[in-house]
């Protein structure tokens, strides 16, 4: 697994928080995606997005023409992450093996089904992000909004 280029929050390299996602810590009520007013600058239109069984919302702004991202895909991505009020908390890029990382579950779910060259908006509920834990500039119970672009994919090894 290779993860590089993380910014201030280190959103994806925090191993300890994977175990804490169940919701210990923090006293504030978690945000509910369908009840939040998103900053207009984010371009979130829940009615036009797909919702996964986990409660993660996804919407492609650009459908890529390349390979399909599936579990086990080796991809390079760029992303920007915001809170619902439009506050940016991170922006960077890294390479990952889908499903074999310590990313928040909603981020991994959000890239599945994308194609290389595609850009997707992903809205992640607290239970699929950091739950009731405060992480850097991310308050407890926060919904995370990401714009993710799949830049490239390593060819699958021939068996």
Query: pLDDT (tens digit, 9 = 90+) per residue, 103-132?
Result: 899 999 999 999 999 999 999 999 999 999
pTM over 0.85: no
Half-sphere exposure of 115 (CA within 13 A, CB side): 8
**111: which residues sit within 8 A by CB, 6+ positions away?**
69, 75, 77, 98, 120, 122, 148, 150
Please give the residue that has the higher pLDDT: either 76 or 19: 76
Element (H, E) at 74: strand 74-82
Query: Mean pLDDT over residues 66-87, rounded?
Result: 96
CATH architecture of 16-153: Roll (3.10)
Question: What span, in angstroms and rounded, lies between the C-alpha atoms of 129 and 143?
Answer: 7
Name residue 57's beta-bridge partners: 51, 123
**10: which residues sit within 8 A by CB, 6+ positions away?**
136
* Alpha-carbon distance values, 136 to 11, 12, 17, 84, 130 (Å): 8, 12, 12, 16, 11
Query: pLDDT (tens digit, 9 = 90+) per residue, 41-75?
Result: 999 999 999 999 999 999 999 999 999 999 999 99
The domains of the chain are located at 16-153
Question: What span, in angstroms and rounded, lies between the C-alpha atoms of 26 and 115?
Answer: 37
Name residue 121's beta-bridge partners: 59, 147
């Amino acid at each position: 697994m290779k993860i590089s280029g993380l910014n201030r929050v280190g959103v994806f390299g925090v191993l300890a928080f994977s175990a804490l996602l169940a919701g210990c810590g923090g006293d504030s009520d978690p945000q509910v995606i369908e009840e939040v007013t998103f900053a207009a600058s984010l371009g979130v239109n829940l009615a036009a997005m797909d919702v996964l069984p986990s409660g993660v919302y996804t919407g492609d702004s650009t459908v890529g023409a390349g390979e399909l991202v599936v579990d086990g895909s080796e991809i390079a991505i760029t992303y920007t992450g915001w809170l619902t009020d439009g506050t940016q908390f991170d922006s960077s890029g890294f390479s990952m093996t889908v499903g074999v990382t310590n990313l928040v579950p909603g981020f991994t779910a959000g890239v599945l089904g994308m194609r290389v060259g595609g850009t997707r908006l992903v809205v992640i509920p607290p239970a699929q992000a950091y739950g009731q834990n405060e992480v850097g500039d991310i308050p407890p119970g926060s919904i995370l909004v990401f714009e993710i672009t799949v830049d490239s994919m390593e060819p699958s090894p021939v068996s």
